[in-house]
Structures are given as structure tokens and as C-alpha cells.
A and B are shown apart, each in its own frame.
Chain A
Amino acid sequence: MAKDENLSKIYFKTIITFFVVFISLLLFSFVYSNFSFNKITFHPQFFFDFFKANSVVIFFNNYFLCSLLFLTLTYSLVINSKDLISKTGSKLLFYQISSRGLHLLVFLTIFYIIALEFIVPSALEKIDAIKNSSLRAGISLRNGEEAYENKDYVEAAKFFNEYLSIIDDVTIEEKFREAKNKIVLPKKMRSTELDAILKSSKNESDKLFIKELYEKEINDYFYLKDNTSTEEKNRLWSLLNGIDYFDKAAPIEYKDDGLISDIITDYGQLAEIFFNKRDYLTAWYYYQYVVEADTAKRAEAQNKIYLIKKALKYQKSDFSETEFAEFMKNKESEIKNIYNLKKTAANYLNLKEYQKAYFVYQDILGINKNLRDALNGINLSRSELNKISAEYSDIEKAKKYVGKRNFVFLLDQHSTIYIGNIVKTYNEDFTYTYYLYDIKINYFDAKTNKRSLIKADFGQMKTNYLATFYCFDISDRNREFFPTITENGVTKVLKDNYLYTIPIDINTLYNFSYDYEKTLTFPIVKLLRLKNYKFTGSNNNNAGINMDFVKTAILDKISRYFILFTLGLLTISLSWRLRSKYPGAFPISLYPILLVIPLFLYFVIKTALYFSTLTFSILSGCVDFTILLIIAVAFHSILSAVSAIFLAVTLVE
């Protein structure tokens, strides 16, 4: 009974020490996390998210030390000789004294594994995400304010909108409202334009709202009602912004009014439809085509053209004869021009010169924006351009983000690639795009002499492996950037050869680094996947990237779990053997000297980890991974067994 009393006292002391140490660590993590919040890197709004994630990281960074400190304090200072003297004089065995500590050590080791495999990586990811959001918010705010100062209110409102989608900020909300108020909303719209907007609006109430605002119709134009309130203006801006109405750049996809089914492609039918819609000029263009291409329908088409001319004459009844003749001459010449331009555009499409085709189609739509084949042509050109090129304004925008510098890897045995800067931008739909800057590819001959050099100012990853080094400006047809090749001192522009396949997945390349400490934070499963990573087309040289450090990290991580357990066992037995005699024996005035103990433990842990990393880093370059894994597990198992024996032979007195 007396023995049980002693044991309960010892167990109680063990549990109390455990809680005191780990609650102190938790408090330390909170305090340290609070002070390590950097307002420049992280937006103050994310303080609590950062605080939570960072506290978790700090807690587990010091977890190893605190585990050993808890065992040391428990068995060398807290449990003392007095606790062993029972009333009956019966003797306690060491396994009884240390059993609670051993249970807690097993728990601490398992929890350490769970933390390092699941909790810490997700906390670090969270901190990274907060950093990215803060960065995006900072850039949006800066750009918004810059645009506001330059009185570019459309741009300012857009940037403020993006900022507000990340951060709740009353001041910026106010500024955003001001910017929207200063935007000149369209006072009038053509019916086709209004129809297109209505079609793009998803919500019925939005459609009704727009219709109400533009209900006054004069000569096929719908006018914005007078005395529009600020709230109405704001809502209208949001709706128009939502459908990219204010985009200065050309739309991703050109649309007609959507009243004609996409299935109809026959020119005769299209001509008929446009004729019935009273869009005589478009109908004329299609009938003219029928006249020239379809002998069977020629007469009918000619008759329709005659009717169109009469209808136009009627429409332009206020014109004098000379003016009308001039008007008709112009229109005929316009149609001829459209035909010529269409031929040119089709020719460019055949030659796969999509940028040129795009701008010619834009010219055609400048003359008549309802031409179905021109709309199809421009959309096709744009879609093809999207597959093969980067857009200059996107490249310029991305420059404002922080990227990573100086990437070098081997394309194959005879070529090496350098990318000065890679920027990863996040899109609104949470996808991302990689932009490349200052690219150089060197080709060498078999004797390793420089054969040629390909240079490109800009590039963009189109897929994870495919990069384009061609860039065009959608607002300037004369601005195109092609890679150049220099061979034997002669430089040529590579107009046909700007797509390159890289041997490394861009995500891996971008996130990959020899930052060993960072690699150690990855879960083992992820590290195993990374270890087996195959570099495509790299002729067994792995693109010049040495994966030995991933092997080291796996082994090092497994070792860390073993080391915690082994050092824990050793700490229990050594602390007991070197324990304090009884409470009060150690003068309180000398308690500050006790700080040497955690410092000693810190050095012991760091030295053990240093030798673990050193050993595995050297061995991973020479020994097969599986053999090394077996050696590591076997070695640590033996060490744990020896420590357990050392613990087992520890005597109470």
C-alpha cells in the first residue's frame, strides 16, 4: 500500500512536470510567434492565421529539446530520494519509477512523427499561402493607388477590387467606391451591345436591373437613365466589370449578338438571316460571296443585292444622289476590302502566323463587327496564339511579383538552359501561370565547343513541360518578341522555332531547391515520391540535378524519430544516475546555473543530428538507397536496444 502511495506520488510528479514543460513551451511559442510577426511580409489582417500556424511550427521546432528537458527534470530533480522511502521500507524498482516517463516517451515519439509528417508541413504551407496573399494584396494596393493617382479609375477600381477580395479594408473600400464613381459609365449602348451584355449576365435580377437602367430607346440606341444613384452606378460597374466590359485588351473570345445559331455556317442562309434582320451591309457581304462562289444561287443573290441597294437608298433618303453614289462606292470598296483582308487572314492562318491573322481579322471586324467568319477567324487565331505564345501585358504585369532567380539545368547532353527569373502568378480561379525572363540555351558540339546560343527575353510555360519563348502584344501589332539564335557570329530571329520542351516539371523546378532544412520539412511520402522523380529526355543525367540530398533527407528524417526515442531512453537512465539527492539540497541562489542543463541538452541534440546528416549525406552518394535504409534502421534499432538495456540495468540505489 505504502509502495503504491510512493508510486502514485512519482507518477503525479511525472505528469505535472510533463504539463509544466509543455505548457511553458506552448506559451513560449505563442509569445515568440507574436513577436516574430513581420508586418512587411504579412498583412496585419492575417495576424491570427499566422499566429496559429507559426506557433505550431515554433512548438514543434523546440519539441525535441523540451521532451528531453521534461525527462531530465523529472528523473534528476523532481523525483528525489525522499520519494523512494516508503513507510514500510519496501523498495521500488526502477522500471516502476520510470514507467510513466516511458509511456510518455512513446507518446512523445509517436506524436513527433505525426507532427513532422502532417501537422508541421500543413502549418508551413499555411504560412506560405499567407505570405502569397499578403504579397498579392500589397501589389494590388500599390498598383491601384498608382492607377488612381494617374486618374485611370477603371484600372484603379480593378486593383482595389482584387485587394478587397483578399483584405477587408474600410479605407480602401471607400477609395474603391470613389474610383467607381469616377468611372465614366456608358451613357448609351447599341441594341446589339446591350443584348450581348444581357446575355453575359447570369442572374435574372441583374438582367432586369440593366434593362431598367437602359430602358430609353432612341434610334436603335439605349440610353442610361438620368439621375442614376451612386448605388446603381456601383452595381452597374460591378456587372460590367464582371463581364470584362472595361478591358482595354481585346476580349479572350469575340462574340456576336448570339441570336443566330452557331450551327448555321452556310453563307446563303447567313445572308438571308442578316437581310431579314435589316443588317443590309452584312447581308450584302454574304450575298456577294454567294454570287461569286455559287452559280446555282447567283441570280437569286444578285436580286437580293439589288434589293439591298434599294433598301439602303431608302434608308439614306436624306442623302443627295451624289452623296448616295459616294456612299455605295465606299461600301462596295469596303466589301472588296473585307474580301481581300479575309483572304490575307486565311492565308496567315494557313501559314500558322496567328498573330498576323489575329490583327487582320481585327481590321475586318473594325469594318463590320457582325461577320460570322471573321469572328470565328479571330477567335481561332487568339486560341491558337494562347497555345503558343505569351502576351506582353501579362509578362509586364507578372514582373511586379517576386520570382526566383538563376535556374540552370541540362536539356540534354549537349545543351544547357539558363533562366534568369521565373515568376509564378496566381490567377483568380486559383490556377497559376509561370512566366520566364532572360532565357539562354547553349548548344555545344561533341567537342564541347559552343555551337549556338538561343536567347529570349520572355517566355511562358504553356503546360508543365512546354515553354514558349514567343511573346506578342495584343494592343500593338508591331510588337513581337521571338527568340534569336546566334551561330558562327551570325544572329537570326527564330520565327518558327519558339516552343521548347523542358525535362523537368515546372512546378518541381520552381519549388525545388537544395535548401536541406526546407526539404526536411516535407513528409516522408512526398520525399519518397521526389526521390523517384524521373527527368524526361535527360539521358540519365537527371538534368544536372542531384537527388542524393532527397535520399539523405528521408534517412535523416527516419533517424530523427529514432534519435528522439534513443536519447529519451538514455536521458531517463542518465538523469536518474546523476540525480539531485533531495529537494532543497541544491541552493536556490544557484538555480540560474541550472540553465546549463537545457543548453547541454541542446548541444547534445544538435550534435547527434549533425552527425546523422553528415553520415547520411556522405553515404547517400556511394551506397544504394535500399541498403542504406536497412543499415539506418538496423543501426538505430541496435542503438535503441542498447539504450533500453542501459535503462533496464539502472538501479534505484
Chain B
Amino acid sequence: MKRLLINIIKYCIILLVLFIAVFSFHFLINIINLTKIPKGAIDTTGIVNALIVPIIVQSCYVALLLSLFIFNYMILNGVYKFKILNFFIPIVIGSLAVLSVSLLFNRKINEITIRNIKDARLYFSEKSIFDYKETLKKNIEEKDFENNVINKIKDEKNRVFVSRMYIKDLYSGEYFLNKKISALEINKILDIFYSIDYYKVLKLYFEDIRKENIGLVKVLYDKEFYNFTDVKVEFLEDKILVNLPGLKNLEFERNYSQEYSSGNIFIESILKGVKNFPYSFYIFDNILARVILWFAYSFLALSIINSINVKLYQLLSVSINFFVLLFFFYYTYSLFNLYNVAVLNFIPGDFIKGITLSFAFIITGSLVQFGNWALVKTGIWEKTK
């Protein structure tokens, strides 16, 4: 029992260290941006609600999932007595942490986003010419696509590539963008569209950026210059809209200004997916459902992580589990969202939805545990090791 207590303390330390690390990183890169806003213009209460609370909530969920992975290797794998009790340490403490955070900061999904600060100064750099990247059209009319896109692409390979990415809808005649398109493919299509002048080059220069408007916008569009003064900036859920009257409506992602890519679009897209993980549990707007869901979710996650255990070569287990962890980070939000949409008409209320999903996780987790136990008991698992 003493050992159990030590393990509980150890886990709490792991969780705390992870939380501090994730929180510090989040805090640093988000708070430092506030220096762009003049001192007097910062609304402290607003900042706490829009920045500090979301950072705490998000860091908490990220640290909780990471802690399962680390707990498995630092503690659980070395435990032989009270294994089941030890197994539930991170699950129970994690659920308590979720309960505390939910009670302390009872927020809705849109209130835990760090992008909540509606101040244009955070998202744009002043006095810097930058390229505006169009959003790829989801559907293009038949004639437009054939005359202005396909017929203008001279390179055969590119023509085939674009034709493959836009699929003709036989009923409407329109061409629809393939839904399974990757970030790399989107970039390639955009490059092709710019090269054939289907999209016109648009460059922007902002001066005198204020909270919800920009004093001066210089625009180069289709080789012509335009100036706009006092341009209004609108903030949507995850987008920023800048309307240039009579010219174009611009749409930007609500990310802090990083005007250049780090060069690895694949890694970038994966890490962007990871960013969505903390929102997953807020799809269900009910504290109890969230706590039970975390309990079930962590049970499933830890069962899987714990089952992948190549004892003769632990590094291999760590490597495989790293990808399992990445999978959890990347797909949880999509999975919860998909479930939420799928059961919309069948299960009423977020609480029931959450409980049902938790139930499914517990069953799956138990099956994984049973499978692991059965394989070990029958000696099959031992043999493969």
C-alpha cells in the first residue's frame, strides 16, 4: 500500500511537471504576443478569460494524455503488486483533474480557444508586405473548370493531377474538390492555379493596425495597386475576415503571425491536428459527462499503451506507443465530432451522448485488456515476444 501511495505521488509530480511545461510553452508564445498591443489598451480581465483560462484548460488535457504515456513506462511497467490499483491511479487522478478544471472554469467549447482575443494587432505584422494565399475552391462550375483551369495547364502531369483532385458531379455538372486531399496537394493545386492566372497574385501591406480595424491597407491585386483606409476586421470562430470594398473579401486563419512555413507541411498538419485535442471533450457540454468520458477515454488509452509492451526491447514499445499517442492526439477530436454528428438524431442531450461514448470506450478498453490477458495466458503473446 505504501508503494501505491508513492506511485500516486510520483504520478502527481509527473502530471504537474508536464502541466507546467506545456502551460509555460503556451503561455510564453501567447503572452509575448501581447507586447504588440499598447499597454493601456490591454483589458486584464479580458486577457484572463480569453487567454489564461484557455491555456490552463488546454494544457491540462495535453498534460493528462502525455502523463498516461509516461506513467506507463516510468511506473506501471515496473509494478507487480496491486497492478490493477496502480493501473487506475492516472485514470482516477486524471478524472479528478478534469472535474476540478471543469468546476473551476466552466466554459463552453468556444470559450476555451486561445484565439479568443479579438485584436487584429496579435494576428498581423505591421509594415510588412506579404502574400495572401487564396483558399482553394471547394467546387468549380463545369465551364469555368474546363476552360479556365484544365485547358490552361500546359504541363500534362499537372493537368492529370488537377483532374484527379477535382471530381465531376454527374448531377450538377460541377467539379468538387476531393475531400481526402492532403495539405501538400492543396499547396500544389494553389501553385498551379497561380501559375495559370486562375488565381491572381495578391500582396498586402498593413499599417496602423488597431484592435478591430486597420488604418491603411495597401493591396497589389492583378498587377494593380489599391489603397484602403480604416478597413474593418471581423473575427469569426477560427477565421478573420478583412473586407476590401469593391475588390475582395479576404479570409485569414486565426493564428499568430508566422508568415513562413517551417518547411515540413506533413509535420505541420499533424501538429495542427494535435492542437484540436483539448476541444474534443468540450464537444459534450456537461461536466459530469466530461469527467466520465475522460475516465473511459484514459482507461482505453492506457489499456492500449500498456498492451503494446515488447519487454525484450522496450525502445520498440516506446516508439510504437509514440505513434499510438500521436494517433490519440490527432484523431480524438475528429472521432468525437463524427460520433456527435452520427448520433445527433438518436441520442438526446450531451450527458447521454457522453455516457454512451464512455460506455463504448470502457467496453473497448476491457476487450483490449482481456485480449492482452488471454494472449499472455495462452502463451501466444509470450511467443511473439
**A contacts, CB < 8 Å to B:** 72, 76-77, 405-406, 408-410, 416, 418, 420, 438, 440, 442, 444, 447-450, 514-517, 520, 541-542, 544-546, 548-549, 574-575, 577-581, 585-587, 590, 593-594, 596-597, 599-600, 603-604, 606-607, 609-611, 613-615, 617-619, 621-623
Contacts and interface: CB of A to CB of B under 8 A. Distances in A.
Interface residues of B, number: 50
A541 B33 contact: no
Contacts of A609: 262, 264
Contact of A545 (B128, B264, B314): B128
Contact of A444 (B220, B227, B262, B322): B227
Given A597-B319, A599-B319, A416 B314 contact: no
A581 B311 CA distance: 9
A546 B131 CA distance: 12
A580 B312 CA distance: 5
Given A517-B263, A600-B322, A614-B29, A586 B312 contact: yes
Contacts of B345: none
Contacts of A440: 223-225
Interface in B281-334: 310, 312-320, 322-323, 326
A376 to B, nearest CB: 44
A522 to B, nearest CB: 14
Nearest to A405: B201
Contacts of A617: 258-260, 262
B125 A621 contact: yes
Contacts of B264: 606, 609-610
Given A594-B316, A599-B323, 13 more contacts: A405-B201, A418-B220, A450-B227, A514-B260, A545-B129, A546-B129, A575-B315, A585-B313, A596-B320, A603-B326, A607-B267, A622-B35, A622-B36
B232 interface: no
Interface hub of A574, A587, A604, A617 (most chain B Cβ within 10 A): A617
22 contacts: A406-B220, A416-B205, A420-B223, A440-B225, A449-B227, A514-B259, A517-B263, A574-B315, A574-B318, A578-B314, A580-B313, A580-B315, A585-B313, A586-B312, A590-B384, A593-B320, A596-B319, A596-B320, A609-B264, A611-B25, A622-B35, A623-B32
Nearest to A585: B312
A607 B66 CA distance: 15
Nearest to B220: A408
A614 B26 CA distance: 11
A73 to B, nearest CB: 10
Nearest to A590: B384
Contacts of B257: 618, 621
Nearest to A415: B225
B135 interface: no
A452 to B, nearest CB: 11
B28 interface: yes
Q: Please name the 7 residue pairs, one residue from A and one from B, whose CB atoms are nearest each other, closest first.
A: A546-B128, A600-B319, A578-B314, A517-B263, A613-B262, A578-B315, A544-B129
B105 interface: no
B259 A546 contact: yes
A581 B318 CA distance: 15
Contact of A416 (B225, B261, B262): B225
B218 interface: yes
A297 B313 CA distance: 111
Contacts of A546: 125, 127-130, 259
Nearest to A416: B225
Given A575-B315, A586-B313, A597-B316, A544 B262 contact: no
B18 to A, nearest CB: 15
Contacts of A610: 262, 264, 267-268, 271
A585 B224 CA distance: 70
A520 to B, nearest CB: 8
B218 A579 contact: no
B36 to A, nearest CB: 6
Contacts of A447: 229
Given A418-B220, A607-B271, A516 B262 contact: yes
B203 interface: yes
Interface string B27-46: 01100110110000000000
Contact of B216 (A408, A448, A594, A596): A448
Interface in B126-178: 127-131
A603 B315 contact: no
Contacts of A607: 267, 271
Contacts of B267: 603, 606-607, 610
B47 to A, nearest CB: 15
Given A440-B223, A596-B320, A622-B32, A544 B127 contact: yes
Given A408-B220, A621-B257, A544 B128 contact: yes
